[in-house]
Chains A and B, each alone.
Chain A
Amino acid sequence: MRPEMRFRIFAVLALALAGCQPASKPPEPKLPLAACRLPGVETEARCGSLEVWEDRKANAGRRIAVKVAIVPAKLRAKEADPILVFAGGPGQGAVALAPQVMPLFSRLNDARDVVFIDQRGTGGSNPLDCNGDTALQQMFEDSIPARVVADCLRTLDADPRQYTTTPAMADFDEIRAALGYEKWNLWGGSYGTRAALEYVRRYPDRVRTVTLDGMAPATMKLPLSFVADGDAALDRLVAACASDALCESSYPKLRDTIDATRKFLARHPVRADILDPLTGDPETITVTENVFLSGIFRPLYMPELSSLLPFAITAARRGDFNPLLAQNFEFSDEMSENFSLGMHLSVLCAEDVPRITPAELAGLSKSFFGRALVDDFVRACGIWPRGEVASDYYEPVKSNVPALVLSGGIDPATPPRHGALVASWLPNAKHLVAPNLAHGVSLHGCAPRLLERFIRTGSTEGVDGKCLERIPRPLFLMPLGVHPPAAAAR
């Protein structure tokens, strides 16, 4: 073969090889991202942060960095609209929720990025953390000691009034633009539903779908609504126990036991000897009526945990508060690691607590949980600076965006009535109720499949919630040694 021919073949091959290199790199996004690892997430993520004005109206003063993490889609040919996760609380950081939330999106993540933004004041975005002491007493009580709040205010490098929902949503949209997304799919849980809905109100054209799990609308007046909703959840628990032969025979007249314990503690707070659930060290705590009430309230968030309540309440009636404590210990443990109390107060003290009327407070005495869940907040908000709220903030959000609203029937915080209200505002919303689930539906039973279908098709059509109705309530925990009812032992 002649040299020139050899060369020509060579050149053709070299060209073929060169032709495979990407011709031009995609434009550099305005928000530089670097490879990072999110603990508990199997695949590599991309992280970055965007600097924004803390005071978005003044556009001056303090700059804060808002943290973003993206779990990239697995496909090269990915969909243009990612999924954006709104965390709850308020006060939870979204990025740290990734390991819990990613399993929900494992399929959708094939073709869609999943984006986590730590809302201002949480996680890695200038978190308004208040590191009070976490003595057992605190873990047991849902209390916000005035001292902790005051200390917190002194140490924070932030203007707490700027950490309400609406400015945070402006951060989110700035991040969307910087990342180069046209639209995204919103998924919010608990308070995250309020934030997501506010985003829909302000930036309706930027939303492809919205999923609201455990709806907490701006109009609900936290923590006042906890009282009525908590009462209802407890009533359902008592009724569920009464209709279960084993529970009824092991914990007869549960309602009476609860009422009697409460009345007793109202008159005589108990100095109870308990063992620390983790270390086993003996300790003494003071159990007041409020401690007892909030100790019952919190396990109601999780049906698995609340299946222990009849047992724990019966033990408490005998003066043994260990089971109730351990239940709340479990709950606090999960909550406290990723929770910024200051941001929680910034939202509630601006958006909810000021709207509670004296008449409403007075009316609480008629309800079971009463002021136990409210007084702490009213006191804390007396100290915490109150942010401004937009004048239309409490107006219904009207939008044609496809929306999937999920509610748990025994949720003590965001039961179906709130979901139903918001669904009535949104003509393209479908409201699905899982009667035996509590706070958070998305991760249970068939819900991930429904969600996948909804987000993939962008429509609630064919999303059938019947399978959610088949999820039963967990069976109540029995004292060891009871005998099964004759029917089951047949």
Chain B
Amino acid sequence: MRSRTVIVLLKELRDALRDRRTALMVLFASILTGPLTLVLMGQYLSGLEEKASTLKVRIVGQEFAPPLVNFLQRADVDIEKAPADYEARIKDGTLDAVIVVRPDFHERFLAGDAAAVELVYDDSRTESQGAIRQAERLLRAFNRETGTLRLIARGVSPNLIEAVKVEHSNTATPRQKGAVLLVLIPLFAILSPILGGMTLAIDTTAGERERGSLEPLLANPVPAREIVLGKWLAAWTSASLVATLTLAGFVVAASFFAGKKLASLMQFGWPEFGLFIAFVLPLAAATAGILMLIATYGRTYREAQTYTSYFVSLVSFVPMVAIFTGLKDAFWQSVIPVLGQQMVLTRVLRGESITFLDWLMPAAVALLIAFTCVAVVSRLMGEERIVFGRS
């Protein structure tokens, strides 16, 4: 029996590879996913960091505010003269925030009256938020320094205006902070085996049916379940291969960041890779089985593709729910396929320790689903309406 299953498995894999172009496309796509994702993300993050680390303010009327300019120069702030049409520039998004100093600033400052400055911005633009906050922070710091010195000059301790001194104790490790950014990796880990197994799952069921080759295949004196098992193994193999390549791509991409400023956030190495694979391979077994089951109902390749695309949407929805509802880890999640993997893979990224039991439950559920699907498909393959039904 096994040899016949293996024959089917090898035949299906060979068939899949025969379509070189598709095979190569899948290969490249899965290898490139990681680097592309992380490089784009890295670019975005270093852009944020760049903005945060180089302090820059744009001022109109800096000649009216020598004390403020002096403070900014001491704080290593790059002061730029804002153009006269700053308001229009802010509206069209080429300027983020501008501090406007009025001509009576110095006079009022020296008199001890609150000297008004205007902070002009458009807060509907997310990319402006950093600049707005930065300008506000600097103005507050200037206020604070001036106020402190004025109090001391009056013989008053500045402690009086700082009733609470906040000391931050952050319990998040850098890896945990990074895990928030790497949230895409579990998503890819879950979706890549589905995309990798889809072609084979459809081609070996609905495809054969459409081509009319399913009927002679099943006419062989071989039990349907052995044939189905072979086809499923082929789909699983392909799914696992694509998932492995995709995740390996992430490891390689993360290593590009070694030594860079973002390195502390991009901690996805071979140990994480191993754990991911351990969770993804059983899941791939389940998704390959489900895809086959769905595709079996398709009369044509295209029809099956439509059905399976619903499944892909459904699966990709689950991690989104987990991310946006802020689910806390709980045991019940481990029995729900996809959600269980999503939760535990996030824990892997956070650097938490994973026990064998953490693995066992989702894996058992996934393998159970896989076997059920294989069994059901085998039964369906024995039904006339599936094998012959064309309408």
Q: How far is the CA of A274 from the CA of B156 in the complex (A)?
A: 11
- A60 proximal to B (CB < 8 A): no
Q: How far is the CA of A444 from the CA of B77 in the complex (A)?
A: 11
Q: What is the size category of the interface that chain A forms with chain B?
A: 35 or more
A and B contact pairs by CB, cutoff 8 A, 7 listed: A1-B374, A311-B153, A323-B154, A326-B157, A474-B74, A475-B70, A488-B66
Q: With a CB–CB cut-off of 8 A, which chain A residues contact B274? A: 16-17, 19-20
- B278 proximal to A (CB < 8 A): yes
Q: With a CB–CB cut-off of 8 A, which chain A residues contact B159? A: 278, 333
Checking A278, A444, A471, A477 against B153 with a beta-carbon cut-off of 8 angstroms, the contacting residue is A477
Given contacts A278-B159, A489-B103, 11 further A-B contacts (CB under 8 A): A2-B2, A44-B173, A74-B174, A75-B174, A77-B263, A110-B261, A277-B155, A305-B152, A333-B159, A470-B73, A489-B107
Contact call A478/B170, Cβ cutoff below 8 A: no
Checking A1, A14, A307, A471 against B149 with a beta-carbon cut-off of 8 angstroms, the contacting residue is A307
- B111 proximal to A (CB < 8 A): yes
Q: How far is the CA of A5 from the CA of B171 in the complex (A)?
A: 45
Q: Mark interface residues in B279-306 (1 if CB within 8 Å of A CB, else 0).
A: 0011000000000000000000000000
Contact call B261/A475, Cβ cutoff below 8 A: no
Q: With a CB–CB cut-off of 8 A, which chain B residues contact A333? A: 157, 159
- Taking CB as reference atom, which chain A residue is nearest B272? A20
Q: How far is the CA of A231 from the CA of B104 in the complex (A)?
A: 38
Q: With a CB–CB cut-off of 8 A, which chain A residues contact B66? A: 475, 488
Q: With a CB–CB cut-off of 8 A, which chain A residues contact B2? A: 2, 5
| B contacts with A, residue count (CB < 8 A) | 60
Contact call B278/A13, Cβ cutoff below 8 A: yes
- A480 proximal to B (CB < 8 A): yes
- Taking CB as reference atom, which chain A residue is nearest B106? A484
- B267 proximal to A (CB < 8 A): yes
Contact call B363/A13, Cβ cutoff below 8 A: yes
Contact call A489/B106, Cβ cutoff below 8 A: yes
- A43 proximal to B (CB < 8 A): yes
- B311 proximal to A (CB < 8 A): no
Which of A34-42, A171-179, A363-371 has 4 or more CB atoms under 8 Å from chain B? A34-42
Q: How far is the CA of A19 from the CA of B271 in the complex (A)?
A: 8
Q: How far is the CA of A445 from the CA of B363 in the complex (A)?
A: 55
Which chain B residues (143-193) contact chain A, with CB distance < 8 Å? 145, 149-160, 167-171, 173-174
Looking at the assembled complex, report how far the CB atom of B151 sits from the nearest CB atom of chain A, in whole angstroms.
8
Contact call A472/B73, Cβ cutoff below 8 A: yes
Decide: A481 near B112, CB < 8 A? Known: A1-B371, A2-B2, A110-B263: yes
Checking A37, A305, A446, A481 against B110 with a beta-carbon cut-off of 8 angstroms, the contacting residue is A481
Q: Mark interface residues in B253-270 (1 if CB within 8 Å of A CB, else 0).
A: 000001101011001010
Looking at the assembled complex, report how far the CB atom of A335 sits from the nearest CB atom of chain B, in whole angstroms.
15
- B223 proximal to A (CB < 8 A): no
Contact call A483/B107, Cβ cutoff below 8 A: yes
Which chain A residues (451-490) contact chain B, with CB distance < 8 Å? 467, 470-472, 474-475, 477-478, 480-484, 488-490
Contact call B271/A304, Cβ cutoff below 8 A: no
- B356 proximal to A (CB < 8 A): yes
Q: How far is the CA of A468 from the CA of B361 in the complex (A)?
A: 60
Q: With a CB–CB cut-off of 8 A, which chain A residues contact B112? A: 480-481
Instruction: Using CB atoms and an 8 Å cutoff, list the residues of chain B in contact with chain A.
Output: 1-2, 63-64, 66-67, 70-71, 73-76, 103, 106-107, 110-112, 145, 149-160, 167-171, 173-174, 229, 258-259, 261, 263-264, 267, 269, 271, 274-275, 277-278, 281-282, 354, 356, 359, 363, 367, 371, 374
Q: How far is the CA of A330 from the CA of B145 in the complex (A)?
A: 13
Contact call A445/B76, Cβ cutoff below 8 A: yes
Q: With a CB–CB cut-off of 8 A, which chain A residues contact B150? A: 477, 480
Contact call A322/B155, Cβ cutoff below 8 A: yes
Contact call A20/B275, Cβ cutoff below 8 A: yes
Q: Mark interface residues in A74-107 (1 if CB within 8 Å of B CB, else 0).
A: 1111000000000000000000000100000001
Q: With a CB–CB cut-off of 8 A, which chain B residues contact A6? A: 367
Contact call B152/A14, Cβ cutoff below 8 A: no
- A275 proximal to B (CB < 8 A): yes
Q: With a CB–CB cut-off of 8 A, which chain A residues contact B259? A: 111
Contact call B363/A74, Cβ cutoff below 8 A: no
Looking at the assembled complex, report how far the CB atom of B311 sits from the nearest CB atom of chain A, in whole angstroms.
23
Contact call A37/B169, Cβ cutoff below 8 A: yes
Looking at the assembled complex, report how far the CB atom of B173 sits from the nearest CB atom of chain A, in whole angstroms.
8
Contact call B155/A275, Cβ cutoff below 8 A: yes
Q: How far is the CA of A110 from the CA of B262 in the complex (A)?
A: 9
Q: With a CB–CB cut-off of 8 A, which chain A residues contact B371? A: 1
Contact call B168/A42, Cβ cutoff below 8 A: yes
- A380 proximal to B (CB < 8 A): no
Looking at the assembled complex, report how far the CB atom of B353 sits from the nearest CB atom of chain A, in whole angstroms.
9
Q: How far is the CA of A278 from the CA of B160 in the complex (A)?
A: 7
Q: With a CB–CB cut-off of 8 A, which chain A residues contact B157? A: 277-278, 326, 329-330, 333
Q: How far is the CA of A433 from the CA of B359 in the complex (A)?
A: 59
Q: With a CB–CB cut-off of 8 A, which chain B residues contact A482? A: 110
Contact call A110/B258, Cβ cutoff below 8 A: no
- A406 proximal to B (CB < 8 A): no
Q: How far is the CA of A443 from the CA of B122 in the complex (A)?
A: 33
- A312 proximal to B (CB < 8 A): yes
Contact call A445/B75, Cβ cutoff below 8 A: yes
- A325 proximal to B (CB < 8 A): yes
- A308 proximal to B (CB < 8 A): yes
Contact call B152/A330, Cβ cutoff below 8 A: yes
Q: With a CB–CB cut-off of 8 A, which chain A residues contact B153? A: 308, 311-312, 323, 326, 477
Q: With a CB–CB cut-off of 8 A, which chain A residues contact B174? A: 74-75, 110
Q: How far is the CA of A159 from the CA of B156 in the complex (A)?
A: 41
Q: How far is the CA of A107 from the CA of B281 in the complex (A)?
A: 38
Contact call A323/B152, Cβ cutoff below 8 A: yes
Q: With a CB–CB cut-off of 8 A, which chain B residues contact A274? A: 155
